[in-house]
Structure 1
């Protein structure tokens, strides 16, 4: 069974990630893991006994809040029979604690988090969501704070066409499980030869046994790569955008690293799935 981990700081900002994960579990059988990284500092004047009593009390309080939050999200989504767990792990850094948990639990398939799911998350890179995308080995789904639940019916895979075969090996199973359409977007640069669209679609259909639509969009040189992508997303309205995070890959670097990600993440209501290449 698929396992989706949903980090939360127990605030309202993380609800978007919960809504998306619950919707995913409607379409593909999955177990949801609501996860909270707890840092409970110790006042220097407190005795060990006093601090330990406070720590236990605080952990119990957060455990109850996590269960209440998960139950409330599932009730609002009318997903009363959804299988789930609530996990609290102590750690100073939320992203380090989360990554360590995923390394120890290799059966976690995806991390699904909201861009508004951590205190002070006003920028993207250098924050929890941005750090998770660049550092985590587990695929990360980043859901914009204002996301409203819709079925995942249209996946947009944005690619520079380098290593697309090994990347499609990861994407196509998702397409089949979700019974979704697969669209492949390639932004064509000014000095680039235009691929044969019909031949490309035929090759993918024969090799991966999936129907797809190839979109070869000529870049508007007066706009950034991120702006070109955003324009296409607005026109097509996919349910999910899928990319790969190897910084050596020019497409990802141009769109997301280091300063474009905040603009992209907050200008669109479309969730982003990032697969790690390292």
Structure 2
């Protein structure tokens, strides 16, 4: 049974991540832990004990109210609140303590990656050893049945098994997308097709696209996401800001970039 740690700050925006987690758990055996961090430190005394108890009650009430709107049954779930100065450090520590398979967190507004810069979500992407599922605030519940895996092909043999293992939880198909500026030069396309022959199956397909270097990977992805409408986009990241900026920021990305309804699953390279 997979374990999904779901973060919330009780805001309306955070409801999207909770709805995704509920959909996740409705399709595969899963244990959910709903987790909230209060940055106000409380000393250990009897008055603060009751305050902490009230926080946990508030969390449970908030989550159950969202379950009610989805008409999904509450499965195996826990509710935890903690007080900590650093939200992302608290999330990572508790995910490791609980042996979470994934951390689910929402974005803070429109333009998913524009809104990630400097947020808790971006800090988790660049520091968490646990895979992160980033859910746009515009997410609407739908069955998980297709993954778009954006790959540089460098470590396809290592990465693809992780994607296939995740997809198997939902019997989902995988569409591998690779973007390359050299696609139409020399034998590159033939070489890519050989790679596809080695790894494709009934559940795994390959798509090779020309990369326009004036635009970020983000912009290219947005077009294909709107075309095939995947349930989740999957990426593997090097955990540093240089990687993040190189792949998702460019002179032409700007504010319209990647304002989609599609969650993103980020694995660590």
For the criterion TM > 0.5, the same-fold answer is yes
**CA-CA distance at 1:197 after TM superposition:** 5.3
Q: Is the 8 A contact 2:216 2:248 kept in 1?
A: no
Unaligned stretches of 5+ in structure 2? none
Please name the residue that 1:186 is paired with. 178
Superposed CA offset, 1:3-38 (max 9, x none): 100011122221101111111111111011000112
> What's the TM-score, normalizing by structure 1?
0.84
Moved more, 7-16 or 139-148: 7-16
Change (3 A) 1:214 1:264: farther
Unaligned stretches of 5+ in structure 1? 43-47
- Aligned residue pairs: how many? 263
Superposed CA offset, 1:192-237 (max 9, x none): 62244553333114xxx65311110112344332211212212221
Please name the residue that 2:82 is paired with. 89
Change (3 A) 1:35 1:221: same
> What's the TM-score, normalizing by structure 2?
0.87
Map 1:80-119 to 2 at 5 A.
Answer: 80-105=73-98, 107-116=99-108
Structure 1: distance between partners of 2:90 and 2:139: 26
Please name the residue that 1:243 is paired with. 235
Structure 1: distance between partners of 2:76 and 2:90: 23
* 2:162 aligns with one of 153, 166, 170: 170
Please name the residue that 2:196 is paired with. 201
Change (3 A) 1:263 1:184: farther
Map 1:25-40 to 2 at 5 A.
Answer: 25-40=25-40
**CA-CA distance at 1:263 after TM superposition:** 4.9
Structure 1: distance between partners of 2:49 and 2:14: 24
More helix by share: 1
Change (3 A) 1:2 1:37: same
* 1:152 aligns with one of 136, 144, 158: 144
Q: Is the 8 A contact 2:108 2:115 kept in 1?
A: no
